[in-house]
């Protein structure tokens, strides 16, 4: 029987179409993009088991698996993948080495991270930046700046990402001179792309290092600003006691001062929770108790921002600086989150300043339950007794102290590094003989 063209088309339409299965790397990538990190690692393992000759595994497969390890915080899988990279001979691939560095650094394993870096034969800017960033993220900014200097001595020119990370290290250590040199380098490179992150890092560095004037110059020179830009400047003013400037800048974020829909164009920039930390600190340092209370209410009522533990701490500090100690106590008791030792300790310090013995005793009971071994609380309490002439009770509290407080340290910028020292410390390598 001869089929008509139409019947032939219908016959073909009835044949099921078989789709090709997705390639392994494509499947891994899609799971990674959807934050299904466990699925990525399980699939990667199944690929290994099905193909013992590793035909389906390449450098991209390993890269996706490493990224899943970073986001899943899985150090054991990271070490296993490191072994597999060596076995397959992929050590020379920069992206894999950088991901390995990040995998180890995410878990604070800087020793292995540095070893991976040392074993890279030709270290690119990506490798240097990854290691410098690892030390910054693990709260070792001094070591990060040493590496930054070593990178420059190795004739590797930093890009804007490296400079942003280095500026963060400068901000943490107070290395203003190094930060100034980085800024000068940025200005000298006309071809360098000055993105928002780099400019924000400059503002943050200058503000934290105490040069608020230069921080404001960078702020005013920026055409595009985001909430981080505004917040860094506001917090910079607040930390250095320039409360009026901080509050004025916060007001400038909303020129019309309206509280309507965020989807409208009434606001220049919506503040975030960190912005309000700066605002509350500014109110606290200026003694603006009522204005601080108003801003604290405004967070949730006008901006839809739920206060965090740090905001409650700022409010306690605000009330204590204003001498409203009993109100601060009641505020702490009514907090929707359990108060931590720092909040109670703020109130205890204020009791010491104002000589509030009865309230201090109540606060001390709270602190003994939260952090009984903290020496500073006993010192504050003994000082209150001493100011009241209650020497017997002072001696009792002093005798309860079982250990001495860790000494505070200072830092000084010398050349291209930052050195730390404490009183009577005579074993520093840069110290000269008397």
105 and 143, same domain (yes or no): no
Residue 6 resides in a domain: no
Residues 228 and 288 in one domain: yes
Q: Do 114 and 148 fall into the same domain? A: no
Tens-place pLDDT, residues 203-259? 999 999 999 999 999 999 998 999 999 999 999 999 999 999 999 999 998 765 445
Predicted local confidence at residue 407, as pLDDT: 61
Residue ranges making up the domain that contains 145: 136-177+197-211
* Phi–psi pair at 421, nearest 5 degrees: -155, 160
On whether residue 422 sits in a domain, the answer given is no
Q: Select from 92, 93, 89, 65 the least CA-distant residue to 79.
A: 65
Residues 301 and 362 occupy one common structural domain: no
76 and 167 share one domain: no
Is 390 within a domain? yes
pTM for the structure as a whole:
0.79
**Cβ within 8 Å of residue 280, ≥6 positions away:** 292, 295, 296, 311, 314, 315, 318
pLDDT tens sequence across 324-368: 999 999 999 999 989 999 999 999 999 988 888 899 889 988 988
| Contact status, residue 227 vs residue 269, Cβ threshold 8 Å | yes
List beta partners, residue 289: none
Q: Is 44 in the same domain as 96?
A: yes
Nearest residue to 237 (alpha-carbon basis) of 282, 176, 293: 282
Contact of 96 with 129, CB cutoff 8 Å: no
User: How far is it, in rounded angstroms, from Cα 59 to Cα 216?
Assistant: 46
Q: Are residues 203 and 279 in the same domain?
A: no
Residues 6+ apart with CB under 8 A from 331: 312, 315, 316, 319
Q: Which residues of the chain fall short of a pLDDT of 70?
A: 1-22, 51-56, 73-74, 255-268, 401-434
- Decide if 427 is inside a domain: no
What is residue 109's DSSP assignment?
Answer: -
Are 89 and 143 within one domain? Answer: no
pLDDT computed for residue 13 by the predictor = 42
Find how far residue 145's CA is from the centre of its chain.
17
415 inside domain: no
**Residue 287 has which token pair?**
């003694």
Which among 225, 226, 243 has a CA at the least distance from the CA of 234?
243
Split into its structural domains, the chain has a count of 4
**pLDDT at residue 33, rounded to an integer:** 83
- Nearest alpha carbon to residue 230 among 261, 199, 187: 199
In degrees to the nearest 10, what's the CA dihedral of 377, 380, 384, 389? 100
Position 191 in a domain? no
- pLDDT at residue number 228: 95
Q: Does residue 100 fall inside a structural domain? A: yes
Residue in 88, 87, 89, 154 with CA at minimum distance from that of residue 127: 154
**In this structure, are 233 and 281 located in the same domain?**
yes
Q: Are residues 39 and 114 in the same domain?
A: yes
Q: What is the CATH number of the domain that holds 40?
A: 1.25.40
Continuous segment of H or E residues that includes residue 88? helix 75-88
Looking at residue 431, its pLDDT comes to 63
- Domain annotation covers residue 360: yes
Instruction: State the pLDDT at residue 171.
Output: 95
């Amino acid at each position: 029987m001869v089929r008509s063209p139409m019947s032939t088309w219908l016959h073909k339409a009835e044949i099921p179409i078989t789709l090709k299965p997705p390639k392994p790397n494509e499947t891994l990538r899609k799971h990674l993009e959807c934050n299904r990190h466990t699925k990525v690692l399980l699939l990667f393992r199944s690929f290994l088991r099905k193909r013992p000759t590793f035909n389906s595994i390449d450098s991209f497969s390993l890269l996706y698996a490493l990224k899943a390890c970073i986001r899943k915080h899985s150090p054991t899988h990271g070490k296993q993948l490191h072994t597999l990279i060596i076995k397959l001979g992929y050590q020379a691939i920069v992206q894999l080495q950088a991901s390995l560095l990040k995998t180890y650094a995410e878990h604070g394993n800087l020793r292995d991270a540095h070893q991976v870096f040392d074993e890279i034969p030709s270290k690119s800017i990506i490798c240097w930046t990854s290691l410098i960033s690892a030390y910054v993220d693990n709260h070792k900014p001094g070591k990060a700046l040493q590496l930054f200097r070593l990178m420059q001595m190795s004739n590797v020119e930093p890009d804007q990402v490296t400079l942003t990370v280095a500026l963060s290290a400068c901000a943490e250590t107070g290395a203003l001179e190094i930060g100034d040199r980085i800024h000068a380098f940025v200005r000298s490179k006309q071809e360098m792309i000055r993105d928002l992150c780099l400019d924000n890092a400059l503002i943050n560095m200058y503000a934290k290092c105490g040069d608020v004037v230069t921080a404001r110059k960078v702020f005013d020179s920026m055409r595009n600003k985001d909430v981080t830009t505004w917040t860094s400047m506001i917090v910079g003013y607040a930390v250095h006691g320039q409360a009026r400037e901080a509050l004025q800048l916060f007001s400038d974020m909303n020129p019309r001062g309206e509280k309507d829909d965020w989807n409208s164009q009434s606001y220049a920039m919506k503040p975030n929770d960190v912005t309000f930390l700066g605002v509350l600190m500014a109110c606290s340092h200026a003694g603006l108790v009522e204005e601080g209370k108003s801003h604290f209410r405004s967070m949730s009522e006008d901006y839809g921002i739920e206060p965090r533990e740090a905001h409650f701490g700022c409010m306690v500090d605000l009330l204590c600086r204003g001498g409203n100690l009993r109100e601060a106590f009641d505020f702490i008791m009514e907090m929707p989150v359990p108060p931590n030792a720092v909040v109670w300790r703020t109130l205890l310090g204020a009791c010491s300043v104002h000589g509030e013995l009865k309230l201090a005793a109540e606060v001390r009971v709270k602190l003994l339950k939260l952090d009984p071994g903290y020496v500073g609380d006993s010192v504050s309490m003994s000082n209150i007794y001493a100011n009241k002439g209650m020497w017997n009770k002072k001696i009792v509290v002093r005798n309860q102290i079982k250990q001495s407080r860790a000494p505070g340290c200072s830092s000084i910028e010398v050349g291209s590094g930052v050195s730390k020292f404490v009183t009577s410390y005579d074993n520093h390598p840069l110290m000269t003989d008397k």
